[in-house]
Each structure stands twice: as structure tokens, then as C-alpha cells.
Amino acid sequence: MVYRGVFVVAIIYWTAILVLFLWLSRRLAALNARIGDLEREVVEEGDEDEDED
């Protein structure tokens, strides 16, 4: 009974840390995608400005 509890607690502890890691990684990936969109927007805008000139 005690050992099953110890095992469950250890699983919960490591899962929580892993979830934090994964959550931060996902946020980082979303941020990278956002920076990519922003860069693309800036490049497209630059091309449009050149066409107008």
C-alpha cells in the first residue's frame, strides 16, 4: 500500500516537471512561428516598397 503510494507520488512529481518542460517548449515553438510570420511580413513589405519605387 505504502510502496504503491510512493510510486504514484514519484510519477506525479516527475510528470509535473515534464509537463512544465513541454509547456515551455510549446510556447517557444509558438513564439518562433510568430517571429517567422513577422519576418515574412517585413520582407513582403520591403518588396512592395521596392515595386512602388
CA angle 13, 8, 22 (to 5 degrees): 35
3-class secondary-structure state, position 6 = helix
Examine residue 22 and tell whether it contacts another protein (CB under 8 A): no
End-to-end CA distance of the chain: 78
> Which of 22, 34, 40, 46 contacts another protein by CB under 8 A?
34
Examine residue 6 and tell whether it contacts another protein (CB under 8 A): yes
The site for another protein (CB under 8 A) is made up of: 1-3, 5-6, 8-10, 12-13, 16-17, 19-21, 24, 27-28, 31, 34-35, 38, 41-42, 45
